[in-house]
Homo-oligomer: A and B are copies of this chain.
Amino acid sequence: MSKGKFVEKITAMEDDFAQWYTDVVSEAELVDYGPVRGTMIMRPYGFSIWESVRDELDRQIKETGHVNVSFPLFIPESLLQKEKDHVDGFAPEVAWVTHGGDTELGERICVRPTSEVLFCEYYSKHINSYRDLPKLYNQWSNVVRWEKTTRPFLRSLEFFWQEGHTAHATSEEAKEETSRMLDVYADVLENYLAIPVLKGTKTESEKFAGADYTLTVETLMHDGQALQSGTSHMFGDGFAKAFDIKYLDKEGKEQYVFQTSWGMTTRVIGALIMVHGDNRGLVIPPKVAPTQALIVPIAQHKEGVLDKAYDLRDKLNNLVRVDIDASDHMPGWKFNQSEMKGYPVRIELGPKDIEKEQVVLVRRDTGEKEFVPLEDLESRLPALLEDIQKNLFDKAFAHRAEKTSVATNMDEFKTALKENPGFIKAMWCGKESCEEQIQEETGATSRLIPFENEQEHLSDTCVCCEAEATDMVYWARAY
């Protein structure tokens, strides 16, 4: 089976990036559509990738002192309404339960779009003394947001995430927590998913409903669009006042707590696809990959080939996550399939290789082949996987650098976005009206204000109006 024939199975990303994405999630067997519009079935391969990301993030969440809990799916309407900004932000996209069995409910019930109000209600009951602080809770859950336009992983009616909800004695501690969890997200994205991030603060108009401020990690997809990949919110004592969450400090004085929340979702699988994928399908970084190396026996009907292939698998089993494709498909089909699924390394083993006591290693990221003596494989394979992990990050980093432009006026902004779609760095005056005008004229939104040490002075005035600029901002069209 020729490679040419295979490539036709998915649209080329240069021709139609959105269709390429849809083709990949389907052909790589990641997801299928659920019967309710906008819902998603995670198939075994898609779910195993989510399990891999989830396990690493869960490890880091526990390592930073948090404990897992589980709060209910359902929120009474009256409880959702307790914090005004919050309900205004979420009510328009809530799914409402109105009947239980044959009975109409006295009060409508909301299927959680997020769980702040549930944690607040709980904390108001269980926090009494400074001894009860901090509370460092996290939960893995499904949430529902009634979105109009949906796409697998990127925006689905129901999605999976972890949501951390913490309460602290002081504002300072809550701010530290907000930053700490942003760093965890950045670490998982960069060192596990091999996706470089920009870190910073959301503008007022883009922050979470009810937060003092929102920190974000933003990543850049292959088509030059940005993806918000994890957010961490500092609530101050706003929710504490709405929900009356108070504690007695060491001096016996009543104080409000300070809170945070932070979440990362199944969206990051969308990022994984759109940052590393190519026209042959997925490319999964070795640290994430459920299967790091796939053994493909060549001429497997010949005596001894399959035995050798299984021996090899058993030998590598403790070293890397290895699998074998011993199906009755042709090797060419197996090559294509392993590329579509993005396994980092393919190991080919045929009668000639057995004779020469070698294997052929084919890396997914570059397509390069190498012949490796069997006796060197156990040292070569892990080194190769490390190299692939690093190469994927470096490539994505270089891509982002190439796709980042500077603009000092709206003409430059539009030209840059047209000729080299990606991030635009530009000065901003702090007014929401300029954000709105930029979005109207270009489709780009403010992605983040970099932290102080990453600020650059590009010009004296706002890229949009004549007013004095206060901050440099990263702008982009975004998913």
Contact = CB atoms under 8 A, between A and B. Distances in A.
A73 interface: yes
A109 B35 CA distance: 10
Interface stretch (A37-45, A174-182, A293-301): A37-45
Nearest to A94: B101
A39 B79 CA distance: 15
A126 to B, nearest CB: 8
Interface string A19-32: 00000000000001
Contacts of A126: 32
A309 interface: no
A44 B137 contact: yes
A97 interface: yes
Interface string A154-165: 000110100000
A126 B45 CA distance: 14
A68 B55 CA distance: 14
A477 B110 CA distance: 36
A399 B34 CA distance: 47
A48 B32 contact: no
Q: Contact size class for A?
A: 35 or more
A144 interface: yes
Given A73-B144, A96-B97, A102-B92, A47 B35 contact: no
Given A35-B76, A74-B34, A92-B101, A41 B69 contact: yes
Interface in A65-91: 67-76, 79, 91
A335 interface: no
A44 B79 CA distance: 23
A72 B146 contact: no
Contact of A74 (B32, B39, B69): B39
A97 B74 contact: no
Interface string A409-430: 0000000000000000000000
Contacts of A79: 35
A41 B97 contact: no
Given A74-B158, A95-B97, 6 more contacts: A32-B122, A35-B72, A41-B70, A50-B70, A96-B98, A97-B97
19 contacts: A32-B122, A35-B79, A35-B118, A36-B74, A36-B75, A36-B109, A39-B74, A41-B70, A41-B71, A41-B72, A43-B69, A47-B68, A47-B70, A48-B67, A51-B68, A73-B142, A96-B100, A97-B111, A111-B111
